[in-house]
Structure 1
């Protein structure tokens, strides 16, 4: 049992990472599509675009992580949905904060807009990915019945 628990953590992280790559494609793809069709340098609109992109990616994340990564402990209960929404809001805050700060810092050093937005988005995705994994693993899909056989 202890050995199974040791394998579960890295394997879950790997599964979460693969799903995270799909989420990243959605996240950065939607942001770039919005920037192509509705280009702006307004920080408020950039945060709105970032929020839209992140929200679509987090919906994808919930579906696949509940179905694959945390399938054993995902019950689909109201409590899990509420805690998932809570962690999504916290992760969105991390994502928006890093995206905003990255944009400001990169603008200050003179990085061109498109490159600046994408570097800031990459940093935002990385930090919100880490925050999201640990919140999902230890709060949302926590296996409270470890050792208990589910029927």
Structure 2
């Protein structure tokens, strides 16, 4: 029975995490597209900087809402540092997938640049979000799980 309750709670957590993720995704895409609108570029270095800026805006928003709503924890310096470490690893994943997606998109040059960029962004967001959920659940907020409040 305890297994079923834990499975159900994990499913509910993932649902809450997903709702917050949608809001953060909108913020992430919004910041990226605003930067591209005001500073249009195809330069990979600038695109990586833009992607990182957008990602960090979303990840800080994610920390606030997931710590308060999804995992319902008291924030601590230890957890915030762990969160920043996981955010950095997730950012690396996001940028590798983003740049890889841009490289693949070059083969589909009939698509407008903004669409190629947003497709690459979407794929990077999805894969980095999966990694981020895993890291948050099993490393950042693990103390809460060890106390039996999952």
Fold agreement, TM-score > 0.5: yes
Query: Which residue does 2:116 correspond to in 1?
Result: 116
* Alignment TM-score, normalising by the size of structure 2: 0.93
1:136 counterpart = 2:136: yes
Query: Which residue does 1:22 correspond to in 2?
Result: 23
Shift of 1:127: 0.3
Q: How does 1:2-151 map to 2 (within 5 A)?
A: 2-71=3-72, 74-110=73-109, 111-142=111-142, 143-146=145-148
Shift of 1:4: 2.0
- The alignment yields a C-alpha RMSD, in angstroms, of 1.3
* Alignment TM-score, normalising by the size of structure 1: 0.93
Q: How many pairs align?
A: 146
Question: What secondary structure is seen at the aligned counterpart in 1 of 2:146?
Answer: coil
Cα offsets for 1:36-59 (capped at 9, x unmatched)? 000011000000000000000000
In structure 2, distance between residues paired with 1:124 and 1:53? 12
